[in-house]
Structure 1
Amino acid sequence: MVNMRPLAIATAVFSFASSAFCVESNLTKPLISKLILPSSFKPPQSFKNVNLVHVVSLEKGYPKEAINVQIENVAKTPQDEYFIPFTARQMETIGGLEVKDRKDAESGVFEVEAVEFDTTSDTQFYRIKLPSPLAPKAQQTLGISFSYLSALTPLPASIAQQDKQFLVYEFSAYCPSSYVTLKQKTEVKFPTTNIPEYTILPGGKGAPESPQKQGAKFTYGSFSELPAGAVEVVKVRYEFTKPLIHVSRLERDIEVSHWGGNVAFEERYVMTNRAANLSKPFSRVEWASQQYYNPPTSAVKELKFPLRVGSLDPYFTDVIGNVSTSRFRSNKREANLEIKPRYPVFGGWNYPFRIGWNADLKKYLRQLNTGTGYVLNVPFLEGPKQPEGIEYEHIELRVILPEGAENVQYSTTLPLVSTSTSLHRTFMDTTGRTALTLTAINIVDDYRERELIVMYDYPLLAGYRKPIVIFSSVLVLFITAWGIGTLDVSIKGKKRP
């Protein structure tokens, strides 16, 4: 839960943020619901879907789906709960589910909650809480978007070093819904026009068979009235000769130093390529010969990190040590870090590494006009920006504030599963620095640059704590050295009478 500060502080926060957003967003709440329903639960038929467009995007290394649906309240009383069904497997891999009003973008995201069920049921739900109850016979247009991690399967599972890669994705041509749908269609967007296999659905009542093809876009439907829970499983196989970059764990540290006027970033990655495995041992000669004409490949050759302007002192290391295959370009308009792993990362291979850089604290921190409050505005997630996209299974972000920081509060629109505050002890600390830890799961790179705003108090005395400690330590050392120097430690024999 996000604790809100007074209106004056919130105003200062918004003036500092590069773009406004709703600080009361439900997405800062854990996705673990407190609502537990029996496995026999069925959503009340309070709504009907008047028109629904289901868009499945396969243009990146993870499927992204969007549901644009016009709903109508068919109950006799106002309703504010809308349910979306998913299978148990989908609930484990779904990420970044957001719901907005398609006709009122300024209303922000709606409250979304994962409903817990008995394990005996394979159908589970997300519950959408409408901002205000929808009156009987009234309509509203919802925009629902989400992604799935680890949902694409290479077929064949093993390929030669120079072969093309094909992926398989299975979904329902009828968008799964808890309510009757009067009209709907499903659009599938592919990265190329090379789609050798796909499910064909026969047309009915004079309608043509599905899908209708238009370049790299397929359309299933449109379909007339369908009952709640209707499913029509289809499968597509398409060319995607790019890596499937999966980060199983990302640890991101942001360390703030008021005295140094610096903010230090460090990111530690455990990266896996989920692409097709090699059917033969890796050939360095074959790989080197390919680099002259740069053909498409499912291996990870390089990663590009667009950093904030003004970033400096980057470094790139792995488990062996420093990696020299990197390039950093920085000027008044951009700051780009380009790294090449120590070896090309093919399907099934892992590559743990870390990067880091520094930045001027003034670009991220503002002091409030009254009191001892500060506002820190940093990206929650930066990471590589790749055309094939990147999926993150587990993200742990630590914001390490100066020693003595108190009354720490935060706001973000990224879905979180847990938050905690602890003490982080480093050199010359007394009590330790305040560290805010935020955890997110199943996130994709579409969330790059989502803002994290941290508000905290930093009393004047706390700011002078470290200089006092350093001065006291030096003074004690000096007095100790002087005291030792005055001791007479010479060995003298006793004088005989």
Structure 2
Amino acid sequence: MRPLAIASAVLSFAATALCVEQGNLTKPLTSRVILPSTFKPPQNFKNANLVHIVSLEKSHPKESINVVIENIATTPQDEYFIPFTARQMETIGGLEVKDRKDPEAGLFEVEAVDFDIESDTQFYRVRLPKPLAPKAQQTLGISYSYLSALHPLPATIAQQDKQYLVYTFSAYAPSAYVTSKQKTEVKFPSTVVPEYTIIPGAKGELESPQKQGSKFTYGSFGEVPAGAVEPVKVRYEFTKPLIHVSRLERDIEVSHWGGNVAFEDRYTMTNRAANLSKQFSRVEFASQQYYNPPSTAVKELKFPLKVGSLDPYFTDVIGNVSTSRFRSNKREANLEIKPRYPVFGGWNYPFRVGYSADLKKYLRKLSSGTGYVLNVPFLEGPKQPEGIEYEFIELRVILPEGAENVKYSTNVPLVTAGISLHQTFMDTQGRTTLTLTAINIVDEYRDRELIVTYDYPFFAILRKPLVIFVTFLGLFAAAWGIGSLDVSIRGKRS
């Protein structure tokens, strides 16, 4: 993960921006702003009250921080820093900040400002929409996930054994400021939690955690200094797969002449669950399916598609896989697929899924000029109860040949963006292609919009039929010319 993060930083400098306008509010993990390893955020704020929520209900941990911040400086302030370790910065995904009391106001501008590899502490800088006046307060909602953060213990189990996962975190929320009062709530998928850290109570208070069903609560804690850490380790039952997509290549091809938009997703998927301690037994697996017991294997994947999706297909590296079912009506379109084999812990399964749709459902022509607006989902992966994490996503929007003045907008955090040409059948110079890349994305980003605007001049619309007409005309002319040649052989006259 570390080499990937560093490589992404280099790519972000080299990304082309021809005719591209970035519209997402959350900036990439890899920022161009590099601060020295000795940097410390100015103590302009304090956390008056903080609630830290750790959700372990899916295959990737999600943490949320609801905090009331107060400006303790003598001047208005608009920069709030959130610290993370270097390892956390490599695996953190989808960090978003908003106003808890006004969520409709949108996301705050967030950027990673410290990429000094010599420092173990790095920061996200949050820009408040308006500077906070002295002694004024504001409630922030901070949320983020970690990829590859859960580890099976034991690492190997029998085919039908239950799986237990280990997660390590801090009972104190990460903060660069003094916190007056806080508590941490941990939500488990079940009440089976055989091991967990106990924190003794201070000054006659009860020890932590306090248990209430599948929720544990650490704290409440009194004043905690900036940067304080209270390690907590929990081990809990989670007999489900840990689906990890190391690479997703998604193509969206727009055809004005065909009135069609074609989607194709190519997955490199791994199950990070506990490995099998013995050789896989298909007989044992088949006999257990009558009872449908919990399993760490990936047995099927469900894709909720947009209404109107057509002609879906499902292939892997061997070829077409017919074990699938597609249901489509006026209210829904669902594709259910089964891999060629149950994907147990440590196993890989590369495959691709594709489908088409009517272009009118995604494209709108502007009332004036030659402009078009394309609205498509950035991600349409499987929707699984255990969740899915994506380490690297490359999205290509292949527009018609001759499209120009391409711009985009999305609230998915991106690493790079660029414009290139993609050669297809009967093209003269290639089709305009917008390429976007993102890292450390979880399935909560499913169906978030990607809006692409572009101009498609009238001459560009006629280019392909003119090329086809001229090509066939040239072929007929060449055939006529060759046919009219006299190639007969005659003897010489004496």
Q: Across the two proteins, how many residue pairs are aligned to each other?
A: 478
Matches within 5 A, 1:113-262: 113-262=111-260
Measure, in 2, the Cα distance between the counterparts of 1:2 and 1:413: 20
Q: Secondary structure at the match of 1:92?
A: helix
CA distance in 2, matches of 1:31, 1:150: 17
Which residue identity does 1:81 align to in structure 2? E
> C-alpha separation between the residues in 1 aligned to 2:291 and 2:476?
66
Whole-angstrom CA distance in 2 between matches of 1:449 and 1:405 = 25
CA deviation after TM superposition for structure 1 residue 242, in Å? 0.4
DSSP-derived class of the 1:402 partner: coil
Task: Indicate the residue corresponding to 1:59 in structure 2.
Answer: 57
Give distance in 1, aligned partners of 2:218 and 2:423.
58
Q: Is the 8 A contact 2:52 2:173 kept in 1?
A: yes
- Summarize the Cα distance change of 1:3–1:140 in structure 2 as closer, same or farther, 3 Å threshold: farther
Of the structure 1 ranges 61-70 and 314-323, higher mean CA displacement relative to structure 2 is found in 314-323
Distance in 2 (alpha carbons) for counterparts of 1:175 and 1:284:
46
**Sequence identity of aligned pairs in percent?**
81
Deviations 1:282-333 (A, max 9, x none): 1111111111111110010011111001101111111111111111111111
C-alpha separation between the residues in 2 aligned to 1:260 and 1:398?
19
Q: Read off the aligned partner of 1:96 and give its amino acid letter.
A: G
SS in 2 for 1:466: helix
Letter in 2 for 1:26: L
Maintained 8 Å contact 1:60/1:388: yes
The match for 1:92 is 90
2:209 and 2:28 map into 1 onto residues whose CA distance is 39
* Structure 2 counterpart of 1:20: none
Cα separation, 2, equivalents of 1:54 and 1:148: 15
Q: Distance in 2 between matches of 1:3 and 1:108?
A: 26
**Native 8 Å contact 1:305 1:383 kept in 2:** yes
Aligned partner of 2:366 in structure 1 is 368
3-state DSSP of counterpart to 2:437: strand
Write out per-residue CA displacement over residues 339-384 of structure 1, whole angstroms, 9 at most, x where no aligned residue: 1111111100111111101000000000000000000000000110
State the secondary structure of the residue aligned to 2:419: strand
Q: Which amino acid aligns with 2:483?
A: G
| Aligned position for 1:382 | 380
Give the letter aligned to residue 143 of structure 2: S
Note closer, same or farther for the CA distance 1:355–1:24 as it changes in structure 2 (3 Å cut).
closer
The 2-side partners of 1:392 and 1:285 are apart by 32
**Secondary structure at the counterpart of residue 313 of structure 1:** strand
Paired residues of 1:25 and 1:109 also in contact (CA < 8 A): no
SS in 2 for 1:446: helix
Q: Identify the residue that residue 470 of structure 2 maps to in structure 1.
A: 472
Task: Indicate the larger mover: 67-76 or 121-130.
Answer: 121-130
**How far does residue 169 in structure 1 lie from its aligned partner after superposition?**
0.3
1:167 corresponds to which letter in structure 2?
L
Instruction: Report deviation, 1:489.
Output: 2.6
Q: What does residue range 21-32 of structure 1 map to in structure 2 within 5 Å?
A: 25-27=24-26, 29-32=27-30
Secondary structure in structure 1 of the residue aligned to 2:245: strand
Where do 1:423-438 residues align within 5 Å?
423-438=421-436
TM-score after normalising by structure 2: 0.95
Structure 1 position 3, deviation (Å):
8.0
Deviates more, 1:317-326 or 1:156-165: 317-326
Aligned-partner Cα distance in 2 for 1:135–1:314: 55
Q: 1:315 is paired with a residue of what secondary structure?
A: strand
Distance 2:24 2:468 in 1: 43
For 1:225 and 1:410, locate their aligned partners in 2 and report how far apart those are by CA, in whole Å. 45
The CA distance in 2 between the partners of 1:2 and 1:41, in whole Å, is 35
Equivalent residue number for residue 280 of structure 2: 282
Equivalent residue number for residue 268 of structure 1: 266
Q: Measure the CA separation in 1 of the matches of 2:151 and 2:330.
A: 42
2:480 aligned residue = 482
- Quick one: which amino acid aligns to residue 334 of structure 1? E
Query: What is residue 67 of structure 2 aligned with on the other side?
Result: 69
**Which residue number in structure 1 is paired with residue 390 of structure 2?**
392
Deviations 1:432-463 (A, max 9, x none): 10000000000000000000000000001110
Residue 30 of structure 2 contacts residue 115 of structure 2 at CA under 8 Å; is this kept in 1? no
Task: Name the CA distance, whole Å, in 2 between partners of 1:263 and 1:187.
Answer: 45
- 2:298 alignment counterpart: 300
CA contact (8 A) 2:264 2:352 kept: yes
What is the aligned partner in structure 2 of residue 8 from structure 1?
none
Q: Which residue of 1 aligns with 2:336?
A: 338
Task: Report the CA distance between 1:205 and its aligned residue.
Answer: 1.7
After superposition, the Cα gap between the structure-2 partners of 1:469 and 1:24, relative to the gap in structure 1 and judged at 3 Å, is: closer
1:115 Cα shift? Answer: 1.6
Q: Deviations over 1:127-184 (max 9, x none)?
A: 1111111110000000000000000000000000000000000000111211111110
- Contact persistence 1:306–1:335 (CA under 8 A): yes
Q: Are the structure 2 counterparts of residues 322 and 427 from structure 1 closer, same or farther at C-alpha, using a change threshold of 3 Å?
A: same
Structure 2 unmatched ranges of 5 or more: 1-16
Structure 1, residues 220-266: CA drift from partner, whole Å, max 9, x if none? 01011111111100100000000000000000000000000000000
1:319 is aligned to: 317
Aligned pair partner of 1:43 in 33, 41, 57: 41
Name the CA distance, whole Å, in 1 between partners of 2:492 and 2:479: 29
Give, in whole Å, the separation in 1 of the partners of 2:104 and 2:270: 38
Whether the 8 Å CA contact 1:58–1:188 is kept in 2: the answer is yes
Structure 1 portions without partners, runs of 5+: 6-22
CA drift of 1:4 comes to 9.4
- Counterpart for residue 8 of structure 2: none
> 2: CA distance between counterparts of 1:158 and 1:422?
46
Shift of 1:490: 3.1
Residue of structure 1 aligned with 2:457, choices 459, 463, 481? 459
Contact conserved, 2:111 with 2:124, CA < 8 A, in 1?
Answer: yes
TM, length-normalised to structure 1:
0.94
| In structure 2, distance between residues paired with 1:487 and 1:250 | 56
- Residue 329 of structure 1 corresponds to 327
Deviates more, 1:351-360 or 1:201-210: 201-210
Paired residues of 1:2 and 1:410 also in contact (CA < 8 A): no
Q: Which amino acid aligns with 1:183?
A: K
